[in-house]
Amino acid sequence: MNTEKQEINLVELASGKQEVNTDENDFSSQVKDQRPDPPVRGESVLRVIDRWFHQLDRLVERYIPQNLNPFTQSGAIANTTFIIALVSGFVLLFWYKPSVHQAYSSLDQISPLGDFFRSLHRYSSDACMLFIMFHAFKMFFARRFSGARWLAWVTGIVALALLWFDGWLGYWLVWDEAANQVAVGTAKMLDQLPIFAEPLSRSFLTDDSFDSLLFFLVFFFHMLIPLAMGIALWLHVSRLNKAHFITKKPMTIAVLGSLGVLSAALPAGLAKPAKMLEIQQTMPLDYFYMLPMYFTDRLEGGALWAITLIGFIAFVSVPWVLVKKRRPKPQVDADRCNGCEQCYKDCPFNAITMLPRAEDDKKRGDFYASIDPSKCIACGICVGSCDPVGIEFPRLPAMDVRREIDSWLHERLEEESSVDVAYICSNSAGADLHIDEATGRCKELPGYIVRSIPCVGWVHPLMIERALRKGAEGVLIVGCQSEPDYRLGAMWTEERISGGRHPELRNEKVDSSRIHYLQYDRTDYDGFIKEARELQRNTSKFTLKQDESSSTKMKKYIMGAFLVLMLSSLTYFFSNAPYSVPIQNDSELVVSFTMPGRPVDSSVKKESEQQNLQSHMQSRNAPAKRERSDVRLRIDVDGETVHEQKYEPSGLYNDGMSGAVEYIPLKAGAHTVEVYLGDTTSEEWLYTDQKKVVFKDNHRSVIKFNRADGFQWYPKSQE
In a domain? residue 558: no
CATH of the domain at 337: 3.30.70.20
Q: SS3 of 533, please?
A: helix
In a domain? residue 555: no
CB proximity list for 204: less than 8 A, separation 6 or greater:
180, 183, 184, 187, 210, 276
Across the chain, mean pLDDT equals 87
Q: How many residues does the chain have?
A: 719
5: confidence class by pLDDT, cuts 50, 70, 90: very low
Domain around 351: 327-395
**Shared-domain flag, residues 185 and 271:** yes
- Check whether 11 has a pLDDT greater than 50: no
> Which residue did the predictor score with more confidence, 622 or 248?
248
Confidence at residue 14, expressed as pLDDT on a 0 to 100 scale: 37
Tell me the torsion sign for CA atoms 421, 427, 429, 432. positive
CA distances from 45 to 40, 142, 287, 432, 519 (A): 11, 11, 28, 16, 25
516: confidence class by pLDDT, cuts 50, 70, 90: very high
Q: Are 464 and 457 in contact (CB under 8 A)?
A: no
pLDDT tens column, 134-149: 999 999 999 999 888 9
**Shared-domain flag, residues 195 and 231:** yes
- Check whether 528 has a pLDDT greater than 50: yes
Q: Annotate 633-654 with DSSP letters as a single string.
A: EEEEETTEEEEEEEE---STTS
Tell me the torsion sign for CA atoms 421, 424, 429, 433. positive
Say whether the peptide bond before residue 70 is cis (omega within 30 degrees of 0). Answer: no
Confidence at residue 16, expressed as pLDDT on a 0 to 100 scale: 37
Q: How far is it, in rounded angstroms, from Cα 266 to Cα 262?
A: 6
In a domain? residue 54: no
**Shared-domain flag, residues 377 and 303:** no
**Shared-domain flag, residues 197 and 282:** yes
Q: How far is it, in rounded angstroms, from Cα 72 to Cα 66?
A: 9
- Check whether 23 has a pLDDT greater than 60: no
> Which residue did the predictor score with more confidence, 22 or 427?
427
**Shared-domain flag, residues 208 and 313:** yes
**Shared-domain flag, residues 339 and 433:** no
**Shared-domain flag, residues 236 and 351:** no
Confidence at residue 479, expressed as pLDDT on a 0 to 100 scale: 92
**Shared-domain flag, residues 412 and 383:** no
Q: Are 396 and 454 in contact (CB under 8 A)?
A: yes
pLDDT tens column, 155-171: 999 999 999 999 999 99
In a domain? residue 578: no
Average pLDDT (686-695) is 94
CA distances from 601 to 136, 558, 605, 625 (A): 56, 80, 12, 6
pTM assigned to the model: 0.87
pLDDT tens column, 430-457: 988 999 988 999 999 988 999 999 999 9
**Shared-domain flag, residues 159 and 118:** yes
Confidence at residue 353, expressed as pLDDT on a 0 to 100 scale: 95
| Cα-Cα end-to-end distance for the chain | 100
- Check whether 354 has a pLDDT greater than 80: yes
Confidence at residue 12, expressed as pLDDT on a 0 to 100 scale: 40
pLDDT tens column, 253-285: 999 999 999 999 999 988 899 999 988 888 899
Average pLDDT (289-311) is 94
Confidence at residue 130, expressed as pLDDT on a 0 to 100 scale: 96
Hey, which residues does 601 pair with through a beta bridge?
Answer: 626
**Shared-domain flag, residues 380 and 404:** no
CATH of the domain at 671: 2.60.40
User: How many separate domains does the chain show?
Assistant: 4
**Shared-domain flag, residues 311 and 340:** no
CA distances from 196 to 191, 202, 486 (A): 7, 11, 50
Confidence at residue 541, expressed as pLDDT on a 0 to 100 scale: 46
Where does a domain end: 395, 425, 448?
395
Q: SS3 of 395, please?
A: coil
- Check whether 4 has a pLDDT greater than 50: no
Confidence at residue 7, expressed as pLDDT on a 0 to 100 scale: 38
Confidence at residue 474, expressed as pLDDT on a 0 to 100 scale: 92
In a domain? residue 410: yes
pLDDT tens column, 219-234: 999 999 999 999 999 9
In a domain? residue 406: yes
CA distances from 103 to 85, 184, 215, 665 (A): 19, 18, 10, 31
Q: Are 410 and 469 in contact (CB under 8 A)?
A: no
**Shared-domain flag, residues 223 and 119:** yes
- Check whether 80 has a pLDDT greater than 70: yes
**Phi and psi dihedrals of 126, rounded to 5?**
-65, -45
Q: How far is it, in rounded angstroms, from Cα 93 to Cα 116?
A: 13
Helix ranges (H only) for 142-248 are: 150-172, 177-190, 212-237
CB proximity list for 213: less than 8 A, separation 6 or greater:
none
612: confidence class by pLDDT, cuts 50, 70, 90: low
In a domain? residue 35: no
